[in-house]
Amino acid sequence: MKKNRLAYFFTVILILTFSLPGLACYSMPASSLSGSDLIVSDEQEIAPPFNAHYLRGVYSSVPANRNIVVISSTRELEQYYHVNRRQTGNLNLIWNESFFVENFLVLVNLTESSGSIRHEVERVDPNGNIVIRRIIPQIGTADMARWNIFIEINNKNRAENYKIEIINDRS
């Protein structure tokens, strides 16, 4: 009788261990947010408009946490993708030469200890400060993930340097 309870207990633990992470983890499609109406409160300047696309990549031991890459042409984008193909994920090169005539991309790489952690670009300040809200669920998964956030910005709003400010949001 004691053996049956112990076997039942371990069976339940195994089922929960392998099924819960699959239920909590979902793939976030590339989506778009507009930041054209955001205002920087301390400077009272209008933040430049932007669009953000989120693409989940495969975790790699290559350090990529909080890297920022500015991409100004399709050639630079293709070079980046060629080197980082595995970590970038399924990137259909949706940006062509006509996009880069008036715009550029700021690519932010974030490595997370849980694939269920999400991100949302709150604003891109005129001084180049990128504020990202990090959405942390109460229950996470044990799969590491690399998030690639592609931020589209018009050339006339180009800052000298870019830096990341992360705001943790525990849901």
Question: Minimal CA–CA distance to 107: which of 164, 166, 46, 167?
Answer: 164
- Residue-averaged pLDDT of the chain: 74
Which residues are registered as beta bridge partners of 136?
A: 170
What digits encode the pLDDT tens for the residues 66-100? 689 999 998 998 888 887 776 666 566 678 899 99
What digits encode the pLDDT tens for the residues 95-128? 889 999 999 999 998 888 888 899 999 999 999 9
Q: Are 149 and 119 in contact (CB under 8 A)?
A: yes
Mean pLDDT of 3-28: 41
Q: Which residues contact 158 (CB under 8 A, 6 or more apart)?
A: 104
What digits encode the pLDDT tens for the residues 48-68? 889 998 888 777 665 555 689
Q: Hey, what amino acid is at 2?
A: K
Q: Look up residue 157 and give its DSSP letter.
A: G
Burial call 23-59: b when 16+ CB within 10 Å, e when fewer? ebbeeeebeeeebeebebeeeeeebbebbbbbbbbeb
pTM recorded for the entire structure:
0.68
Distance CA 93, CA 100 (A): 12
